[in-house]
Amino acid sequence: MSGTLVLVRHGQSDWNLKNLFTGWRDVDLTEKGHAEAKAAGEKLKARGLKFDIAFTSALIRAQKTCQHILDAVGQSNLKTVKNLALNERDYGDLSGLDKDDARAKWGEEQVHVWRRSYDVPPPNGESLKDTGARVWPYYLHDMQPHVLRGETVLVAAHGNSLRALIMALDGLTGEEIVKLELGTGVPVVYRLNADSTVASKEVLG
């Protein structure tokens, strides 16, 4: 018996639009972000997907994306678990800074390393590896058991927390995962085998 795991990065946030490092700052969706989240729900509804449980982060942009999707599939009141284990990567001292200003302060090369390396964190922040260290145990303990019981699970979270999950699911290296771009509001549908391996993966772009 295989289950289904649907991953969705939140719709465009206000700080995505303004080119700011967001991290754990609790920033809302833009109008476009709301529309992207609703469109994600419509794509999943068109596939006839119904969920048994939903998981999201402690941040409003992911929570609202999750709710838009559940509204679209007709499951507005579905049990939804919120946990900071699924929060975006903490950008530390970069949080709230314009990306161009950060490059001016620390240099283009250094900022690129912080953004695109697997295990080098920005000052007082997290690397992608650090983000994975909280995402992976949470997935194994709280989310995967539902999927392995044959349930359909929705996860609405963030670019880096979902990258960490995809890294584990797809068996990617640190080098490979940092090159992976996740579109806002684009569902990624995994079907898992009973032994937790991936049977299929589809990106509903």
In terms of Cβ atoms closer than 10 Å to its own Cβ (0-12, 13-18, 19+), residue 66 is buried
The answer to whether residue 10 is catalytic is yes
Q: CA 89 to CA 191: how far, in whole Å? A: 26
Sheet holding 152-157, edge to edge: 80-82, 53-56, 152-157, 3-9, 187-192, 198-203
The catalytically annotated residue of 10, 36, 68, 126 is 10
Q: Are strands 187-192 and 152-157 parallel, antiparallel or unpaired?
A: unpaired
The catalytically annotated residue of 31, 36, 68, 88 is 88
Judge contact between 153 and 143, C-beta under 8 A: yes
Enumerate the β-bridge partners of residue 153. Answer: 5, 53
In terms of Cβ atoms closer than 10 Å to its own Cβ (0-12, 13-18, 19+), residue 151 is middle
Q: CA 152 to CA 140: how far, in whole Å? A: 15
The answer to whether residue 181 is catalytic is no
Q: Which residues are catalytic?
A: 10, 88
